[in-house]
Amino acid sequence: MKKITKISLGLAILALFVVVLLPGAFAQKKAPESMMLKLEGAKLPPVPFSHPLHTEKAKIGCVECHHKDKNPREPEGCMPCHDLKNVKNGAIPIKDAYHKNCIDCHKESSAKGVKAPTACNDCHKKQ
Ligand code: HEC
Ligand code: HEC
Ligand code: HEC
Ligand code: HEC
């Protein structure tokens, strides 16, 4: 191979790395800012959930909630694993998973003086 071809091949590989691979290494699926959580067939009012409040203000890591994703920076929600009604592959039904995840932490946090909702109608708030 001529020297010049070697160099351009080198540059091509470098460019590929910068353009394709590097952004991938730092990519993070952007968390939705505010959402209303509502399960299929829900009877109570939907529950508001803010990512920025939890991840930025309260400084909670993604894995605290997205605990089983192969890549916690690109999570896919809870429903792929937590079923609406049944225990599936050891994963408790989604309502129980939410209640355990959300309420346990809110109780701990409130006990430490940072108030977070623990009563039914504080989360299932009538609009
Ligand atoms: C920290 C917030 C939080 C608190 C407190 C809470 N829940 Fe929930 N609950 C949720 C979330 C999130 C869901 C899933 C989204 C939805 O509401 O459909 C849910 C779902 C449910 C569901 C299934 C959906 C429906 O509406 O039928 C029921 C029933 C329920 N909760 C009852 C309760 C009761 C009763 C209490 C009080 C003892 C309570 N929850 C307290 C967050 C909370
Ligand atoms: C306090 C709990 C909590 C934390 C911390 C958290 N998330 Fe989430 N996230 C949720 C819940 C709940 C949902 C809604 C899940 C669903 O609809 O099944 C969600 C949904 C998402 C979704 C949409 C998934 C989809 O395609 O349905 C993305 C993307 C996401 N979160 C990214 C992140 C990232 C990135 C971080 C960390 C910077 C993070 N989340 C931290 C609870 C959390
Ligand atoms: C890739 C599959 C998967 C995803 C996605 C997932 N879970 Fe789980 N989860 C499981 C399995 C499996 C268990 C059973 C216990 C274990 O293996 O840790 C579990 C257990 C739990 C438990 C009970 C833990 C305990 O101490 O008993 C909670 C709470 C929970 N999940 C909440 C969530 C929430 C909230 C989300 C979405 C933000 C979520 N999970 C997403 C698979 C998943
Ligand atoms: C690991 C801890 C942790 C988990 C898990 C968690 N939260 Fe929170 N949450 C907090 C803290 C801390 C606050 C109070 C933040 C503040 O006011 O500084 C809070 C506040 C809230 C508020 C009140 C927001 C407001 O505007 O007053 C809602 C609603 C809420 N969380 C919903 C949820 C739901 C729904 C889930 C489960 C999907 C959840 N949280 C899971 C720690 C947690």
Express each pLDDT in 26-56 by its tens digit: 556 789 999 999 999 999 999 999 999 999 9
Instruction: Give 81 Cα–ligand 1 centroid separation in angstroms.
Output: 19
Q: Which CATH class is domain 31-123?
A: alpha beta
Percent of the chain scoring above 90 in pLDDT: 69
Q: Whose CA is nearest to atom 39 of ligand 3?
A: 78
Q: What is the per-residue pLDDT for 27? A: 55
**pTM value?**
0.90
Q: What is the dihedral of CA 57, 58, 59, 64, to 10 degrees?
A: -140
Pocket test for ligand 3, best of 67, 73, 96, 103 (most atoms within 8 A of CB): 67
Name the one residue in this structure whose structure tokens are 């080198």.
10
Taking the domains of the chain in order of start, what are their residue ranges? 1-28, 31-123
Residues with Cβ within 8 Å of 118's Cβ and at least 6 positions away in sequence, in order, are: 103, 106, 107, 110
| Ligand 4: nearest atom to the Cα of 108 | 2
Instruction: Give the residue-averaged pLDDT of 91-104.
Output: 98
Instruction: Give 89 Cα–ligand 2 centroid separation in angstroms.
Output: 21
Q: What is the per-residue pLDDT for 71? A: 83
